[in-house]
A and B are shown apart, each in its own frame.
Chain A
Amino acid sequence: MAGADHLKLLGTKQSMFTYRVVWALKLKGIEYEFIEEDLFNKSSLLLQSNPIHKKVPVLVHAGKPISESRLILEYIDETWKERPMLPEDPLERAHMRFWASFVDDKLMEASRKAFASSGEDQAKATELTAEALKFLEEEIGGKKFFGGEEMGFLDIMMGWFAYWFPFIEEVGGFKVMDPTKFPCITAWTNNFLQVPIVHQNLPQPDELRNVFLGFRSFLLSAHKDH
């Protein structure tokens, strides 16, 4: 139903960043229209809505675009106040934002490097990924979710790790996740994937695997001339 408050989510069905927004919207029970983008043939709406980065996801609310998944989550939390994703206390909020930043800047960055490389470079990046994960293992401890009893902002920001990361390891040809080394993260992964709105909103495994296979082959051929 298009109206003054009409919500559009521009994304793709395999993008880990798109799913952050999907889970947030589902968590709050917010209706939206999903527009599947072809990243090799970006729509004019996408290019107009995110001219700087030209990336998904973009949330368009009553014609106004918001880019960057982390910022979209904060926008959603500030606009729809029921079922808050961030805690109320400023110190706890700062804490969640800190770790969300860490997840993207350290864990994801190292995972990307491990995926995109081979040999010595990959070994180094694998080590960095494991180091980053150790911090998060400590941070989750025995909690059900990073948000406590219920999943919240940080769980959603780290959600890619629960589902996308095994494919990244498989296709990239490296291994970091180990239930004996990371028992708390392993438990969190299971808890997270069992949340109904997550469980019902995940990409098809074969489609996801194919996307990563495509990426890896592209990245390795780009490095061939070094």
Chain B
Amino acid sequence: MAKSDVKVLGAWPSPFVMRPRIALNIKSVDYEFLQETLGSKSELLLKSNPVHKKIPVLIHGDKPVCESLIIVEYIDETWSSAPSILPSDPYDRATARFWAAYVDDKFFPSMKEIGFAEGVEAKKAAIQQLVDGLILLEDAYVKCSKGKPFFGGNQIGYLDIAFGSYLGWLRVTEKSNEVKLLDEAKTPGLAKWAEIFCADPAVKDVMPETDKLAEFAKVLAKMRAAPPK
């Protein structure tokens, strides 16, 4: 399949954009990565995702697919030869989807909350909430991985992608708040998993470096404080 047949519209700092890129890498599918400029939305993006106007968008042939986890499932179903991204058993699939939804609906907002929290007490509470979430995810990791390195078993799967895509920003949050969140003591499984995940060939070229991401976070914060006219 020609490279231009598969495009991903996105931006390098976005954890959501990482997800389809990792999935395509797992399937060894070549794609063209079209980056949006911060602060503006391209014609192609507005045309491909008129409802939400958000990245990522996968464009396959001329057909757009939107929403990062929906794109990952689409990739798994379209390039259906091994390796599989979703587990094969329906119950395991439901479990993976459950925790992916948890990560998006609970974990990520609590990570953002740490940045928004004002004052020592509020920050402490926000951090505790995130750590509580990580402990739940540690338990999920132990149950899903069944002794293997990834949530998905021997290879990266759907839940690894869903949760792992937040690791860059998690590290930035640790750095800027001078706190260890993914702690070998409290969450040993996840601490080890994070290293293996980030080093995986399907991940390492799309996971942004923490320093670069931290710089970007500063630019983003400035933009939000004083939006361009």
Contact = CB atoms under 8 A, between A and B. Distances in A.
B69 to A, nearest CB: 9
B77 interface: yes
Range for the number of chain A residues in contact with chain B: 20 to 34
Contacts of B65: 91, 94, 98
B102 A101 contact: no
B108 to A, nearest CB: 14
Interface stretch (A68-76, A146-154, A175-183, A195-203): A68-76
B93 to A, nearest CB: 7
A36 to B, nearest CB: 23
Nearest to A80: B90
B218 interface: no
Interface string A56-80: 0000010010111001101100110
Contacts, number: 53
A218 B60 CA distance: 48
Residue picked from B63, B77, B90, most chain A C-beta under 10 Å: B90
Nearest to A50: B98
A93 interface: yes
Contacts of B98: 66-68, 71
Contacts of B67: 97-98, 101
Contact of A74 (B60, B71, B94, B136): B94
30 contacts: A52-B102, A52-B136, A61-B91, A64-B91, A66-B91, A66-B94, A67-B98, A68-B97, A68-B98, A68-B101, A71-B97, A72-B94, A74-B94, A75-B91, A78-B93, A79-B90, A90-B74, A91-B60, A91-B63, A93-B73, A94-B70, A94-B73, A97-B67, A98-B65, A98-B66, A98-B70, A101-B67, A101-B70, A102-B51, A135-B51
Interface of A: 52, 61, 64, 66-68, 71-72, 74-75, 78-79, 90-91, 93-94, 97-98, 101-102, 135
